[in-house]
Amino acid sequence: MTRLTTRDHGPRRLRRLERRALIAASATALSLTASGCVVVHGEREVLPSATRAEAAKALQQFTTAYNKADKAYDGSLDAEYTTGALGAIDAARLKAGKANNPDGNPRHTPLALSDVTYTIPKKAGWPRWFVADAKANKGGDARWVLVFTRGDLSEPWQAAYLTLVTPGAMPEFTKDKDGWAEAVPADSAGLAVSPEDLSEDYAGYLQDGGGTFADGAYTTDLRTTRAKNAEQPGLVQQYIDEPLTSGAFAPLALRTADGGALVFFCTHHYVKQTAAAGASVPALNASVRALTTGEVKQTLTMEFVANQIVVDPAKGAVSMLSRLEGLTGAKGE
């Protein structure tokens, strides 16, 4: 190390030090380049979000952690590998399971995923993400479609979305010559609905209807079921729907071959049951009871998080492919 004294601060001395520093930095850069170790600015470069090997490893790590957590009913065992809607739903499920079975899950069957297809978009900036579409030994014939995200290189891959999709229902994606998919920006204006607006629009649709979404199980049928359940003898049931878009709940979209997009997005829901005078709220099942705070006298408010997959075309109605909703909390009054 060169030691600087008061007389070392002259212009000539400083220029010599600057030249030495520049030569040293250049030599280091040349060495790194020659060795194949190159620093890439991920916030600017358009790159695949992950290699296929990295994606496979992420799925394997999630599956291992998920099985350990499910067997022990211990949310700490897979918390590192889940986030967003799946993280919220899974944490509540495990909490309820632990409350009702302190020694673990007596019906545990390890999750096994096979026949996996990875769809990995090229994009600039963070978060990076990819989709895994797999056959599972749970959920009947439906395929498990998971979205993994990562905020930076120091973070593990985490599963943020999970929905169950009918085999063959996933659309064809736009891919380049190397097989990488195309990520669609959240504010894209070339679709029936911008991905960033889908959560709010779906929450509004559930309340008021409209033509934004195509008819189906999670749209017209769900509204019909709600209308039937709104008023029953001695019980009123109210529904509150809210968008959920911040952080790990942000929408993610892939370009489809027809110019539209497949979009993953989240929503937040409350169902409030109010019993009439002299009546009572229906008996709570074990899972709801485990997640309920307060005393259920005349009302019970249940909180849910849902994640959805939709086909968002360039023009026309948005089609809902799948929806998975989970209870995350409840309050009695």
Token pair of 44 as six digits: 């600017």
The pLDDT of residue 25 is above 80: no
Token pair of 268 as six digits: 């937040």
Mean pLDDT of 303-311: 98
39-49: b (≥16 Cβ within 10 Å) or e = eeebeeeebbb
28 vs 252: which has the higher pLDDT? 252
Q: Which among 125, 86, 55, 93 is positioned nearest to 249, based on CA atoms?
A: 86
Mean pLDDT of 75-85: 98
Mean pLDDT of 54-76: 98
- Percentage of the chain lying above the pLDDT 90 cut: 86
Q: How high is the mean pLDDT of the chain?
A: 89
CA dist 221 and 321 (Å) reads 14
Mean pLDDT of 27-33: 33
3-12, 100-109, 181-190: least confidently modelled range: 3-12
Per DSSP, helices labelled H in 109-163 are none
Q: How far is CA 257 from CA 267, 307, 312, in A?
A: 27, 23, 12
Crossing angle of helices 220-229 and 198-208, rounded to 10°: 50
Mean pLDDT of 279-295: 96
pLDDT band at 70 (very low <50, low <70, confident <90, very high): very high
The pLDDT of residue 264 is above 60: yes
Rg from Cα positions in the chain: 26
The pLDDT of residue 277 is above 60: yes
**pLDDT value for 138:** 95
CA dist 102 and 146 (Å) reads 29
Mean pLDDT of 184-199: 97
16-25, 47-56, 92-101, 132-141: least confidently modelled range: 16-25
**pLDDT value for 45:** 86
